[in-house]
Amino acid sequence: MRSSIHILCALLLAARLCADVITAVEYSWDVPAPPGTGTPVNIVPGNQINVSRNVSIASLPQGLHRLYLRAHDDSSGWGGAHSLWVYRLPPALHVDSTITAFEFWFDNGPHTAFEVGGGAEVQWIGNVPLNSLPQGFHRLYVRARNAAGMWGAPESEVVFVFAPALVTQHVVTAFEAWVDNGTHFSYDVADASEVQLIRNLPVAELTPGMHKLFVRCLDQGGNWSGAQSQFFMVFPRVDTNPGRIAGAEFWINVDPGQGNGLPLAPTDGGWDEFQEEAFVYVQDIPPGFHRIGVRVRDDVGHWSGVEIDTFTVGPMLVISTSGNDVILHWSELPGITDFEVWRSSQIDGGFNLIGSVSANAYTDPGIIASQPQLYYHVKWVPNARAQSAFRLPDTGPSSH
């Protein structure tokens, strides 16, 4: 019976481990089992757990043994093994009895006793007052008494009493963060006892691999807290990683190759974001059918594929009159011989086809006498949408 109580207390104390989330606990006897191979203990995962478990010692021989406990969390895996001594009494000496009372004391101080409901196995959970203990290490002793009035051997555990806080409430005024042994970055925050900090840290210069982030805070008295740390991984950059846009270029009709196009200007004045808007002013593009290609470069020098669109530049239309006739003239277009002339009495629609010609001129006879105002436009049909020979940038004869 006393061996069972000893093990139950040890499991409860050893399982109070702080981690991100404790997901598993296991134990083994005498030799620490390799991580993941011990006897599992059923738990409810959490940041801090209490484990209460009856562990069978029927197969243990008489004498001194060691119980090893190990916990697993979802951040760093299996932790180190914690152990405690267990003594297996001879069968003849192991007699069940009813526990009727407990008592505890610190160091060599006074004993505090309390009655419990009788039973062969009793669990007690309570608060132990520490107000009278000075700062530092102390040893807590606990022992049980059976119905015959016999006290068992005491079990003990080392505890540490911290010094009282220097102020009743801290007010956080600033944060400081750094990676590994690198530069410290400071952040001012609105003064409060609880503060949430969300910031982007410059990690572009970190090498791929494991690194450690440190964070600490400053209170209203100018005192820095201890640094809290967290491991994180920097992965190598790959081509599929959407890096920041660092440049863009364009070309018209003929692709000169990566890095040889004409630069585009960012609308906000700088290439430094994941999404950018850009513009360019181009003059003196001759009439005809054209292609325009655009590609961008990220901040590690990788070029994207080319996005291509088409556009058409029309000829300059000149309108003159002769008597009641309207005469239309437009500049010649290389490779284009079919033109359509459309007319409307309204500027915003209702155009009708009035003629088709193969020359670059058309006369609308006698129309002025019957119409106070007219609007014209000329359409043309490119020869199989033949692309203009114009190119930008001008890279000389094309091999395409």
Spell out the CATH class of 172-234. mainly beta
Which residues lie below 8 Å from residue 308, measured CB to CB, with a gap of 6+?
Answer: 291, 292, 293, 294
How far apart (Å, rounded) are the C-alpha atoms in residues 400 and 394?
14
pLDDT at 245 over 60: yes
At the topology level, CATH places domain 99-161 in Immunoglobulin-like (2.60.40)
The CA-based angle 23-26-32, given to 5 degrees, is 135
Selection from 126, 29, 145, 143 nearest residue 87 by Cα: 29
pLDDT at 11 over 90: no
Main-chain dihedrals φ then ψ at residue 144, nearest 5 degrees: -120, 155
Selection from 271, 176, 278 nearest residue 224 by Cα: 176
CATH classification for the domain delimited by 314-385, as one of 3.30.70.580, 2.60.40.10, 3.40.50.620, 3.20.20.70: 2.60.40.10
Task: Express each pLDDT in 180-224 by its tens digit.
Answer: 988 888 888 888 777 777 777 777 788 888 999 999 998 888 888
Task: Express each pLDDT in 40-94 by its tens digit.
Answer: 988 888 888 877 778 878 888 888 999 999 999 888 889 889 888 988 887 654 5
What integer best gives the mean pLDDT of the chain?
82
Q: Which two tokens stand for residue 301?
A: 């020098």
| Residue 96 confidence (pLDDT) | 59
Q: Is 108 exposed, middle or buried (0-12, 13-18, 19+ CB in 10 A)?
A: exposed
pLDDT at 19 over 60: no
- Give me the residue spans of the domains in the chain: 2-93, 99-161, 172-234, 245-312, 314-385
Selection from 39, 75, 54 nearest residue 5 by Cα: 54
> Same fold for the domain at 99-161 and the one at 172-234?
yes
Please answer whether residues 1 and 96 qualify as being in contact, where contact means their C-beta atoms are separated by less than 8 angstroms.
yes
pLDDT band at 381 (very low <50, low <70, confident <90, very high): low
Provide CATH code, domain 2-93.
2.60.40
